[in-house]
Structure 1
Amino acid sequence: MYLAKSYSITGYQRLVTELGYNPVALMKSEGFVPAQFNGADLFVSYSKLAELLERTALECQQPLFGLLLTQHQPLEAIGPLPLFAAQAETIGEALNKVSSALYLQASGVHVRQIPVGDNTQVLMDFDISTPLGITQIKLLSLGHLCNFVAEITGLSRYNFDISISAPAPYQKDYRQSDYRQVHFDQHFCGITLSTRLLTQQNRQYASAISSSIKRHVEFLRDQFPTSLEEQVRQVASALLASGDCSLELVASSLDLHPRMLQLKLKEQDVSYSQIMREIRQTLAEDHLRRKSMSVTDLALNLGYADASVFSTKFKQWTGLSPKQWQKKVGSS
């Protein structure tokens, strides 16, 4: 199963609204909810994300939707990748660094460099597929690549020569992007750069990277959710406050049937209900310790209908009511 960070489509709701359509309805049609994208930084199914973008492009009649989305995104949309690139002295080395760390942002996509005469093609390969195709994910990824290369070269992101292995749009009246050279029906997906440019110094290179940045890079590697249990925890934690944190929705976010998700978790000696209990207890104890909200508000934020149900559950977990636990911790 391939995963991607939900923050990679930051600005999605704003752009869809600008185009005159309902972003929430489109997200729900693919099994997503706004809580997964409203500032959340969690992994979701890469294929389902691709399908959401394809459906959105069709609904909005905007064949360049993925590229348009990247025009107003901050560099943070590509997650921690600039941190890795900052360790490279040249632009070519920075691209190699990003390629090796790309799994931290999305699995199932690869970046490689192919020399062609005086130029180098920076190619993107994708392992995912959807019934609607993956043209929009390709455009989104190429837009991210242009934004990143612009950051490390100082060149305008709109001047790069973009090639995409997808049919040319048939609509004639769609909103154009600011990218000036977008070529469809190509045999590869990527951008073409001067080979000489790749030997130049990376503008973001720090000749002596601080130990704190190095530690942060290692931290990011360690935080990558390699186990299904950790993936479920990330998705469930983000959805909990939305009031809809059902097994079905979490499974859909990870592109799994609910029964299959349960079976895979069982293979790891854990259950969905156990994960949810641990998430709720951890969050409850944290809020009670900090006295950040009332018991009633806490109950609602943890997905309980009322405070009495939450209090009963909390006593089952700890042997104390929320107020008793809070008093005990406060006096210790």
Structure 2
Amino acid sequence: MQYFVRSGSLLGFGEWVRENGENPNALMAEIGLSPAALYDSDLYIPYPALARLLTLAARRCRRADFGVQLGMRQGLEAVGALGSVMCLQPSLGDALRLMQRNLEFHARGVSTVVSQGERWLELTMDFAFAAEEDCEQLAGLSLALLCRCLQQLQTQTKAPLSLELKQGAAEPEVYRYLFGCEPRLEGRRNALIYSVDLLAQPVAVAADLRARLSHQWQNHRQQPDAGLLQQLERAITALLPTGECNLTMVARIVGLHPRVLQQRLAEQGSSFSALLESRRLRLAREHLAHSDIDLTTLALNLGYAELAVFSRAFKRWQGVSPREWRRQQHTDRA
């Protein structure tokens, strides 16, 4: 699983498939994906398998616009705790930088490039496995999700100036309606082009959306024990690569004062630092076993100042260095 992505990418997939008269679990099984990925947004799934699933769903549902319609249905809810933190940023440029850092870590296999010129801002996506897999539906989903997130972050955001797709599965009218601009299909790349002024626009999220995003992090009020721990783990996982993963920010997301959060964790025999280390270990193991990420990049994305600090912590957890642990995993699978 060299290329993988969070299962949050499937938010709304089941409902959209059922609306079109098909069985989402059957489609998942046909591709070799567990239906559990539809209900747990923080699983890692193979990125090429997601591309195959969307292609299959588009064919079975007879919807050439399946991926792009799904992306427009998702928005900030699909990116978990990251969506809440993006809402707290001062500008769209700051929010985009957070999203880019998160994708680089939690979506291995996609390159998201933000290019700024004097007049234009180009947001380009490319997939490392595009030569082996049909990524037409996946590209539509990804660009639609990005466009939708920008619309939600700034209620006055104008439509993109243009949309470019290497392959456009749907009719041009569909893209014009959903993106509000003229599409260029069969182009050189998958990209959205905006005015460069977009970066400086302040984040201004509609009150009802902010309430929905906050609500998804308040489940711990109904499930005081397991609910809080689960929400904290999800928040830490999303925020680690952004540089925003600290007690104050995580407490803000789950709606608690930092001191109250520490007290709640102490009552359960835990602490924020213990949860942080636990999630770091889990993510380290996932990436060492399933990706080719270099160790320095992994250490920085896990919030360590340098590789040596991460290596010492990992050896304390596992008894061997991260390099040796990775070698053992690859040897065991050989």
Q: Using structure 1 for the length normalisation, give the TM-score.
A: 0.59
Q: Which residue of 1 aligns with 2:328?
A: 267
Q: How does 1:197-216 map to 2 (within 5 A)?
A: 197-203=198-204, 211-213=247-249
Q: Structure 1 residues 106 and 210 mapped into 2: Cα distance closer, same or farther (>3 Å)?
A: closer
Using a 3 Å threshold, how does the CA distance of structure 1 residues 133 and 177 change in structure 2: closer, same or farther?
A: farther
Q: 1: distance between equivalents of 2:176 and 2:151?
A: 20
Q: Percent identity?
A: 23
> Residues 156 and 229 (structure 1 numbering): CA distance in 2 closer, same or farther, change over 3 Å?
closer
Counterparts in 2 of 1:195 and 1:60: CA distance versus 1, 3 Å: same
Query: In the TM superposition, what is the alpha-carbon distance from 1:266 to its structure 2 partner?
Result: 8.6
Bigger proportion of residues as helix: 2
Contact in 1 for aligned 2:136/2:168 (Cα 8 Å): no
Matched residue SS, 1:61: coil
SS of the residue aligned with 2:283? Answer: coil
Counterparts of 1:277-288 in structure 2 under 5 Å? none
Residues 100 and 69 of structure 1: CA distance in aligned 2, closer, same or farther (over 3 Å) = same
Equivalent residue number for residue 227 of structure 1: 285
| Equivalent residue letter for 1:53 | L
Rg larger in structure? 1
User: 1:27 offset after TM fit, Å?
Assistant: 1.3
CA distance in 2, matches of 1:135, 1:66: 8
For each residue in 1:170-217, what CA deviation from the matched residue of structure 2 results, as whole angstroms up to 9, or x when unmatched?
77999996333343222221211111221222336xxxx995215789
Q: Say which SS state the counterpart of residue 101 (structure 2) adopts.
A: helix
Superposed displacement of residue 43, structure 1: 0.6
Secondary structure of 2:284's counterpart equals: coil
Q: Distance in 2 between matches of 1:104 and 1:113?
A: 16
Per-residue deviation at 1:168? 3.3
* 1:199 partner letter: A
Alpha-carbon distance between aligned partners in 1 of 2:8 and 2:45, rounded to the nearest angstrom: 10
| Corresponding residue number in structure 2 for 1:42 | 43
Q: CA deviation at 1:98?
A: 1.7
**SS state of the match for residue 194, structure 2?**
strand
Give deviations 1:48-98, integer Å, cap 9, x for gaps.
111111122122222221111123225221233335535643222321222
Cα 1:49–1:224, aligned 2, differ >3 Å: closer, same or farther? farther
Q: Is the 8 A contact 1:65 1:136 kept in 2?
A: yes
Distance 1:231 1:140, change over 3 A: farther
1:163 correspondence with 2:182:
no
Aligned Cα root-mean-square deviation (Å): 3.9
Report if the CA contact (8 A) 1:7-1:40 is conserved.
Answer: yes
1:114 counterpart = 2:150 = no
Q: d(CA) in 1 for partners of 2:252 and 2:328?
A: 32
Read off the aligned partner of 1:164 and give its amino acid letter.
Answer: E
Q: Secondary structure at the match of 1:227?
A: helix
Give the conservation status (yes or no) of the 8 Å contact 1:51–1:133.
yes
SS of residue in 2 equivalent to 1:160: coil
Q: Does the CA contact (< 8 Å) of 2:288 and 2:326 recur in 1? A: no
8 Å Cα contact 1:123/1:189 also seen in 2? yes
Alignment of 1:1-332 (within 5 A): 1-73=2-74, 75-86=76-87, 88-129=89-130, 131-155=132-156, 159-161=159-161, 163-169=163-169, 178-181=178-181, 182-203=183-204, 211-213=247-249, 219=276, 222=280, 225-228=283-286, 267-268=328-329
Aligned to 1:248: none
3-state SS, counterpart of residue 190 of structure 1: strand
- Contact kept, 8 Å, 1:110 with 1:124, in 2: the verdict is yes
How many pairs does the alignment contain?
A: 237
TM-score by length of 2: 0.59
> Could you list the per-position Cα deviations for residues 205-240 of structure 1 after superposition, in whole angstroms to 9, with x for gaps in the alignment?
xxxx995215789959837623249979xxxxxxxx
Amino acid at match of 1:147: R
- Counterpart CA distance in 1 for 2:123 and 2:22 is 34
Q: Is the 8 A contact 1:50 1:130 kept in 2?
A: no
Q: Which runs of 5+ in 1 are unaligned?
A: 233-263, 273-332
Is the CA contact (8 Å cut-off) linking 2:137 and 2:169 kept in structure 1? Answer: no
Secondary structure at the counterpart of residue 71 of structure 2: helix
Q: Which amino acid counterpart does residue 115 of structure 1 have in structure 2?
A: Q
Q: Which has the higher contact order (CA 8 A, sep 6+)?
A: 1
> Are the aligned partners of 1:63 and 1:174 in contact in 2 as well (CA < 8 Å)?
no
